[in-house]
Structure 1
Amino acid sequence: MLVNRVFLPTLLAVASAGAFVVPYPRMTEMMTESSRSSGHQAAGPAEDAGGAVKAQGIGLEGLGAVASQYDAFLIDQWGVMHDGKTPYPGAVDCIDRLSKAGKKIVLLSNSSKRKGAALRNLERMGFSTGSILDVVTSGQIAWDGLQDRVDEPFKSLGAKCLVFGNGDDDLEYVSSCGCTLAEVQDADFILARGSFVVADSNGTRRYTPTVMTGEGKEETHKAMRLMLERGAPMLVTNPDFLRPGTNDPMPGLIGKAYAEMGGTVHYIGKPHPAVYQACFHALATAKESAPPPDAPTRAKIVAVGDSLPHDILGALRAQLASVFVAGGVHFDELRVEQGGAGVPSDEAYSAAFSKHLEGEGTPTHVMPAFRW
C-alpha cells in the first residue's frame, strides 16, 4: 500500500508530534550548504589498535542476518536493488523476504523523477511493488514543494528556471509543478535535476557525456557565472555526486561547483533531512501503524544504501542505523565487482569511511550486496 502525497507542512507537524523517539530539526534548517548540522551519531567511529576506522558489523553475508533487529527498512534503489535497468542478483528475493517477514519497506531514492516513474521502473524489472509501503524520491519532494509554495526555500524561489536536466521528463516536470523555462537573464533560479541537457525558453541542448564535462562544460559554467552575478539560487533535486557504473557527474557535483563559486544552493535528497521526514511520515501514517504509538521508533529503523556521503551520512545525521552495500557506487574504490558478492578488505573499508563520512561515524552494518 502506498500512502497519499505528503505535504511539507504535514511533515513538520509529524516531526513535532512526538511520533519518534528523538526530535529532528525542521527540514528547512539543513537544506542549504551553509546551514548543515551533523546532529547525533547513530554509530560512532570504531577504531582498531592501529587507529583505522572500522564499521560495527563487517562480515554480514546478507540482510537476513540482521533483519530481526529492525521493523522498518529505508532502502536505496540505484546501486543497491538495481543498475537502472536490471535487478542485481538476489535483490528481488530480498524485498520479497522482507515483506514476508512483516517488515515495513520504504524506498528512499535521490532520483529527480517522481514516485510514479520509480514504481513503473521497479515493476518492469520484476519487483513486487505491492509489498512496498511507499517510494520517497527527492524529485517528488521537490515537485511538491514547488507546486505548494508553502515552506522555504520553495516559497521564495520564483517560477522561472534554467534547468540542468536528464533530457527525459524535464519539460513535463517543470510545467506540471507550476514553473516555466527561462533564459539566464530572466531565470529566478537554477533547477539542477540532471546532468545531460541544458534547458531554457530557447529549447533543450544535449551534451555528451554531460553538461559538466566535454563540450557542455563551457556553457554550464558561463550560465552559472551569470546566474551568480544576479544572485540567483540553485535547487538541487538529486544530491548524488557520481552515476553508479559510469562515474559521470551528477547534480550534486553541479551544486557543489555553484556553492564553491559563492552561490546559494538548496538540496533536496540524502543526506539532507526533508526526504527522511517524508519516510517517517509514511511509517507513522500507514494503516498498519495506527495508532501512532505502533509506529517504529528510530532505534527500529535501518537505512540501506551504497553511497557513503549520501545514504550512510544521511542515516547518521538522522540518527538511524545503517547497512552499507559495498558493491554499489564505491565498487571501484573498494576493488569489488559492481552488484557482486565480493568482500572488500578491512583496509579498503577503513579508507573509504575516513574519506567520505567526515568523521561523523561509520555504518552500523556492512554487506557486499543487497541479498537475503
Structure 2
Amino acid sequence: MTGFAEHFDLKTPLALAPMALAAGGALASACAKAGALGLVGGGYGDLEWTAREYQLAVDNISDDAAAMGRLGCGFISWKLAEDSAALDWLIANHKPAAIMLSFGDPRPFAKRILDSGAALICQIHSLKDLPLAIEAGAKVIVAQGTEAGGHGATQDSGRGTFAFIPEVADWIAANAPGTYLLGAGGIADGRGVAAALALGADGVMMGSRLWATKECLAAPKAKEIVAETDGDGTARSAVFDILRRKNWPGIFDFRAIRNDIHREWENRIDQLKNAPEGARADYEEGARNKDYSRVHIGIGESIGLITDIQDAATLIDTIRTETDRALQRIGG
C-alpha cells in the first residue's frame, strides 16, 4: 500500500476527480465508502450546488467514520478568486479530509484550507506549476496529462501523463519528500493504475471512468454515447468554452467527444471567437433538446476503455483487482 493510501485509509490508491456538475454527493460518497478518496466537484464555486451535494455526501456516510475520512471537495482556483463563498461555506460547516485546487495559483486559498485541517491537493499541468503548489503547502500533487477529459492544459502547454509522472516524481523526491503524487489523464482501469505506480506515482486520480457510473450526475443518454465511442473519438479545443461563454485562461482548453458541432468549428476557432452568436444559438437549442450532436460530452482519451455503466463500488473493486493482477505481472 502506498503512502497516499495509508494517509487517507484507502483500500486502493485512487481518488475521484472532482468533476464540476458531475461528481456530486452520490458519487463522492460511494467512492469514499468503497475505499477511494471521494471529492465532490465544487468546480465553478456555485454555493447552492456545492452545499447541496456535499451535504448529500455527508448524509450518505455520516455513520461510517472511515468513509468520512475519505471525503473532500475540489474547486477551480481562478473562479475562487472571483467568489470564494463555496469554499468558505465548506470550511465553516464541515471538516473535509482534503480540498483540491486546480487551474490557477493555489496560494491565496491555501492558508484557509490548511488551517481547517484539510489536506491540500494541487493539480499541476507543467513543471513550472510544481514549486507554487509546494510553496502553498500541498500534501498531494496531481500531475494531469493532456489525455484527461474536460478541462486541462492545451496540447501546446501540457504534457502526456506517462512522461509527466516520472519527471514530477523525481522532482518531488529531490525537493519535497513526503509529498504524494497522483497521475491523472487517460487512466481508466487497473492496468493504468499499475503503470502510474511503476512510474513513481503514489496513486491516481480518475475522472472519465468514474463519470461513466450510475451515481454520476451526467445524463443517462450521454453515458450511453460514451460507452459506444472509441478512443479516437475525442479532441481538445476551445469550442465548447466559447459556445458556453466560459472565459477560461488561454493555456487551458476542453477535451470532449468530437460531435457534429465540434467538428464544424474545431479548425475555425478564431472565426468562432469573432462571431459566436449563430453557433451559440445552435448549441443552446441542442442543450434544450438533449441533442448530443450539438451538446458537449466532456470525456478523456480513455473513453475507448469504457464499455458499460457500473455502480461506483463495483467498478472500484474491479479496479483494485486489476491493479493487483497487473502489479503481479510486472513483478514476474
Q: TM-score, normalised by structure 1?
A: 0.31
More RCO (CA 8 Å, sep 6+): 1
**Greater fraction of residues in helix:** 2
Q: Which structure has the larger Rg over C-alpha atoms? A: 1
Q: TM-score, normalised by structure 2?
A: 0.34
